[in-house]
Amino acid sequence: MTTSKEAFLHAVSPDYGYGGAIDGIRAKEYARLEGKCTVYLDHTGTTLYPASTVDAFARNLQEHIYGNPHSRHPSSTLTDGLVDETRLKVLAMCRADPSEYGVVFTANATAALKLCWEMCPLDAASASEFYYLRESHTSVVGLRALADSMKIAAHAIDADDVPAILATKPPPPVDGGEAAMAPSYSLFVYPAQCNYSGRRFPWTWPSLARHRQWLVAVDASAYAATSPIDLSNADAAPDFVALSFYKLFGFPTGLGALIVRKSRMPLLRKAYFGGGTGQLSSVMANTHWQMFRDTLHTRYEDGTVNFLDIIGLGIAIDEHRRIYGSMQAVAAHTHALYQWLYEQMHNLTHENGQHVCRLYIDHEMAHDPAQQGPVITFNLMRADGSPVGYAEVEAIASVNRIHLRTGGFCNPGAAQKWLQLTDADVRRHAEAGHVCWDDQDIIDGQLTGAVRLSLGAMSSYEDVAAWLTFLRQYYVEGMESAHRPAFFTTYRPKLHGPTDNITTAATSVHLSRLTIFPIKSCHGYSIPADTDWPVTAQGLLYDREWMLVRKDTERALTQKQYPILATIRPSISMARQELVVNAPGMDELRLPLQTLAEPSQRTDVRVCGEV
Ligand SMILES: Cc1ncc(COP(=O)(O)O)c(C=O)c1O
């Protein structure tokens, strides 16, 4: 495996780098990354904002007076006009004709999907059904709880089954025909890109449902950051598209949108009203009379919209275009970089020939940008075929300032598919105390989650090369392992040599070292070889005896949240009966074991959700 830039530039597609501009973009817009030596590879979590966007936004706020858009004075009409201008920019970005589609601003994609459900004319009496792709984010899966509450049948389906299922619903009855029956609509929701694996799903599915009794919503949250959305052929496009803007631009946060086909308006429900969405209402007599407003966003944006951030969004869209040219250019750049990374990880082997990375990717689709986004999700494997838990990879990557995401990524269907977990496995993991965001990465030998690298508009060769160097340094067994830093051995103790008093299956094993972790989540302490060490009912004395706790939340700190804990080195001095703590930038701390053991020093705290 080579990671030299020359070799990379020779091998990579010419689409990489915005015609040679990437290094300048990085230096100007993302200097804070270099300043903090950070390698950022979590763009599906959020991409990072360019410096120009926040500079332009700060200048703009200081130059203008923005009033509440529901008032009618000049600073209010200025806001209202800019909010509407941003709506048009969002539609232009999606190549959507404003006469066909409208934008309803929401707090995020999750809120957009929930609003979509509330709008749809679904009910059990008319046999409405809810279908969603199994590889959906929980923002979509959670809609099934609303379906259950309305006694509407909800079905998780696989990509291969979608065309046949869409064909099952009939066209709406023609006016006056077929006994003038009211149509019975069903809803199908799917992600344009799976946030777990990066797999992309066809934008042609809505055309199969069009002119049938379906409403189709596309969750484009993960897709839109690295690929253009094209709703220009409205007849073949979805009825709804959900977005979260921080995923595209890094800033603003707390702002999403539901893009809605306007011709569906007569069908759509409106129940709650508040703020500007009620045009007039009466509360004097107990008649519950109210009139809703009639344009799409005035009807569905309850309360005051996040108007300053919407103005910021307009600026973010303009700056993004100025910096990167177009979403097509971002798509081409990220796909080129992803392809190279994919090849490197796919071909990476230990000295014994075993693959280092188990990639959760369909290899036949891996090179087609219509079927795979710039995301690589995987688990690392040791040379003996045993898996490395995601929590370990995340902790060591974080200490090396590589920012990546691990776990189940709020996508239970994709996690079960790729990790081959049955429902019973998932329940067993839950009973063992595992929750999505904890460090229990392997239970009974079974992986509970994965590691995800996701590229964004500003990702560069240097990011990917730093990751590959890290991988080689820490996880490729063979020639390179001599270059690993010393502390790494605590994560992967090597057992070797003969022994005569344990089972035949383990005759080639002897115990070379015992490591305890006196302070939970901090560095381990290796018990000196010639020392007797007491074993108590809880295990080795002083193993996970103490932990660091936030006073406000009474929660234990974990290495996942605070990777810096890995640099705190506790040790036990039996001779002096002290816990000795060393960490960079602080004086050595010596605490008497006697005092620490006193019951008055104890308090209840939460660890992984348990008291
Ligand atoms: C595919 C997908 N859908 C929905 C969401 C939810 O987005 P938000 O948390 O911004 O509402 C995410 C977030 O990661 C996502 O990746």
Query: What integer best gives the mean pLDDT of the chain?
Result: 89
Res 487: pLDDT: 36
594 class by beta-carbon count within 10 Å (0-12 exposed, 13-18 middle, 19+ buried): exposed
**Ordered alpha helix ranges (H), 200-243:** 205-209
Per the structure block, which two tokens stand in for 423? 């429902």
Phi, psi at 317, each rounded to 5°: -65, -45
- pLDDT of 502 over the 50 cut: no
- pLDDT of 499 over the 60 cut: no
- Residue 215 bridge partners (DSSP): 187
Q: How far apart are CA 546 and CA 522, in angstroms?
A: 10
Q: Which one is predicted more confidently, 604 or 69?
A: 69
Cβ-based neighbours of 270, under 8 Å, separated by 6 or more: 119, 277, 292, 299, 300
User: Which one of 106, 240, 243, 244 would you pick to mutate in the ligand 1 pocket, going by the greatest count of ligand atoms within 8 A of its CB?
Assistant: 244
Answer positive or negative: Cα dihedral of 101, 105, 108, 110: negative
Q: How far apart are CA 408 and CA 79, in angstroms?
A: 40
Domains and CATH numbers, the chain: 5-48+325-487 (3.90.1150.10), 68-320 (3.40.640.10), 504-601 (no CATH)
- Please tell me the distance between residue 114's alpha carbon and the centre of ligand 1 in angstroms: 12
- Please tell me the distance between residue 287's alpha carbon and the centre of ligand 1 in angstroms: 40
410 as an active site residue: the answer is yes
Res 553: pLDDT: 78
Closest CA to 413 of 155, 226, 238: 155
Q: What is the mean pLDDT of residues 18-36?
A: 95
Nearest CA to ligand 1 atom 7: 109
3-class SS at 127?
coil
DSSP labels, 454-467: E--TT--HHHHHHH
3-class SS at 31?
helix
* Atom from ligand 1 closest to the CA of residue 109: 11
Q: How far apart are CA 246 and CA 183, in angstroms?
A: 38
- Is 130 within 8 Å of 144 (Cβ atoms)? yes
Per the structure block, which two tokens stand in for 155? 């079905």
How would you classify the pairing of strands 539-540 and 569-573? unpaired
**Ordered alpha helix ranges (H), 242-306:** 246-249, 296-300
- pLDDT of 610 over the 80 cut: no
Per the structure block, which two tokens stand in for 491? 């994560």
Task: State in Å, rounded, how far the first CA of the chain is from the last one.
Answer: 47
- Residues in the chain, overall count: 611
Of all helices (H) and strands (E), which one includes residue 526? strand 525-526
Query: In this predicted model, what pLDDT tens digit does every residue of 284-334 receive, in sequence order?
Result: 666 776 777 778 999 999 999 999 999 999 999 999 999 999 999 999 999
CA within 13 Å, CB half, 100: 17
Q: Which one is predicted more confidently, 2 or 128?
A: 128
- pLDDT of 538 over the 80 cut: no
- Is 304 within 8 Å of 275 (Cβ atoms)? yes
Q: How far apart are CA 478 and CA 488, in angstroms?
A: 15
- Please tell me the distance between residue 110's alpha carbon and the centre of ligand 1 in angstroms: 6
Query: In this predicted model, what pLDDT tens digit does every residue of 56-73 receive, in sequence order?
Result: 999 999 999 999 999 999
* Atom from ligand 1 closest to the CA of residue 139: 4
Q: Where residue 509 falls among pLDDT bands split at 50, 70, 90?
A: low
Res 495: pLDDT: 28
- Please tell me the distance between residue 588's alpha carbon and the centre of ligand 1 in angstroms: 44
Q: Where residue 497 falls among pLDDT bands split at 50, 70, 90?
A: very low
* Atom from ligand 1 closest to the CA of residue 107: 11
3-class SS at 606?
strand
Per the structure block, which two tokens stand in for 561? 């949240």
* Atom from ligand 1 closest to the CA of residue 409: 14
User: Which one of 44, 115, 134, 139 would you pick to mutate in the ligand 1 pocket, going by the greatest count of ligand atoms within 8 A of its CB?
Assistant: 139
- Give residue ranges with CB within 6 A of ligand 1: 44, 108-110, 137, 139, 191, 195, 219, 221-222, 244
What are the C-alpha distances in Å from 136 to residues 41, 133, 157, 469? 22, 6, 10, 33
- Residue 570 bridge partners (DSSP): 581
Nearest CA to ligand 1 atom 14: 45
Distance of CA 491 to the CA centre of its chain: 26
Q: How far apart are CA 571 and CA 405, in angstroms?
A: 31
Q: How far apart are CA 357 and CA 350, in angstroms?
A: 10
Q: Where residue 537 falls among pLDDT bands split at 50, 70, 90?
A: confident
Closest CA to 563 of 393, 399, 388, 407: 399
Q: What is the mean pLDDT of residues 378-393?
A: 95
Res 559: pLDDT: 80
DSSP 240: E
Query: Which one of the listed residues 410, 436, 522, 608 is annotated catalytic?
Result: 410
- Please tell me the distance between residue 196's alpha carbon and the centre of ligand 1 in angstroms: 11
Query: In this predicted model, what pLDDT tens digit does every residue of 145-194 receive, in sequence order?
Result: 999 999 999 999 999 999 999 999 999 887 655 555 678 999 999 999 99
Phi, psi at 509, each rounded to 5°: -115, 135
Q: How far apart are CA 580 and CA 593, in angstroms?
A: 10
3-class SS at 256?
strand
User: Which one of 43, 108, 137 would you pick to mutate in the ligand 1 pocket, going by the greatest count of ligand atoms within 8 A of its CB?
Assistant: 137
- pLDDT of 602 over the 90 cut: no
Q: How far apart are CA 333 and CA 456, in angstroms?
A: 9
Phi, psi at 539, each rounded to 5°: 125, -155
Residue 297 one-letter amino acid: H
Query: In this predicted model, what pLDDT tens digit does every residue of 398-414 receive, in sequence order?
Result: 999 999 999 999 999 99
Query: In this predicted model, what pLDDT tens digit does every residue of 68-106 receive, in sequence order?
Result: 999 999 999 999 999 999 999 999 999 999 999 999 999
* Atom from ligand 1 closest to the CA of residue 136: 1
User: Which one of 43, 221, 227 would you pick to mutate in the ligand 1 pocket, going by the greatest count of ligand atoms within 8 A of its CB?
Assistant: 221
- Please tell me the distance between residue 194's alpha carbon and the centre of ligand 1 in angstroms: 10
* Atom from ligand 1 closest to the CA of residue 247: 10
Res 496: pLDDT: 31
Per the structure block, which two tokens stand in for 543? 């193993």
Distance of CA 42 to the CA centre of its chain: 8
What are the C-alpha distances in Å from 417 to residues 140, 423, 448, 577? 17, 11, 12, 51
- Please tell me the distance between residue 3's alpha carbon and the centre of ligand 1 in angstroms: 33
3-class SS at 475?
helix
Q: How far apart are CA 44 and CA 62, in angstroms?
A: 32
Nearest CA to ligand 1 atom 12: 221
